[in-house]
Amino acid sequence: MKSLNFISASLFALGLVACGSAQDAPAETETAAMPMGMSHDEMGMDIDEHDMSAMGDGIGHATGVIKSLGSKGDFVTLQHGPFEGIDMGAMTMGFDIMGDVDLSGFTEGDTVAFMVKQGRDGSFRVMSMCNTAIEGADCLDSMMDH
């Protein structure tokens, strides 16, 4: 009987200790946002000096060459230069197509100007594209509002 009382008392005490520790522990999001409870100032970060307008609206434009077209007309791979409007350098990458963009008039090797928009998932999608060899180097200007 003494053993049972001792075990019960030990479990009760352990439960109290665990409950008290859970209340004092920082929330998971706090731990991820601020390591070890440090403030922005203690980490050497002055967020008031950061220009948040530089993040833009997620819309950018560039020129490039079509490397491949998706068989369903909903994907294009472009070798492009650096973008204006977003922070993306020159590279070759694939893009999904937004809305009314019609790829049927384009072929591999076409030189194009194009505009992309970043979606909520972080990926960029082509929202307009024109053939610079046919429509001129400034063909995208009429499609842009920035």
Contact criterion met (CB below 8 Å) for 145 and 113? no
* Dihedral over Cα of 110, 146, 74, 88: its sign: positive
With cut-offs at 50, 70 and 90, classify the pLDDT of residue 11.
Answer: low
Contact criterion met (CB below 8 Å) for 65 and 35? no
Q: Domain check: are 45 and 85 in the same one?
A: no
Q: What does the pLDDT read at residue 20?
A: 52
Q: Domain check: are 24 and 94 in the same one?
A: no
Q: Domain check: are 90 and 72 in the same one?
A: yes
Q: State pTM to two decimals.
A: 0.60
Domains of the chain: total: 2
Q: Which tens digits make up the pLDDT trace of 44-77?
A: 444 333 333 334 579 999 999 999 999 999 999 9
For 28, the domain range is 2-49
Q: Domain check: are 69 and 125 in the same one?
A: yes
Q: Which tens digits make up the pLDDT trace of 83-95?
A: 999 999 999 999 9
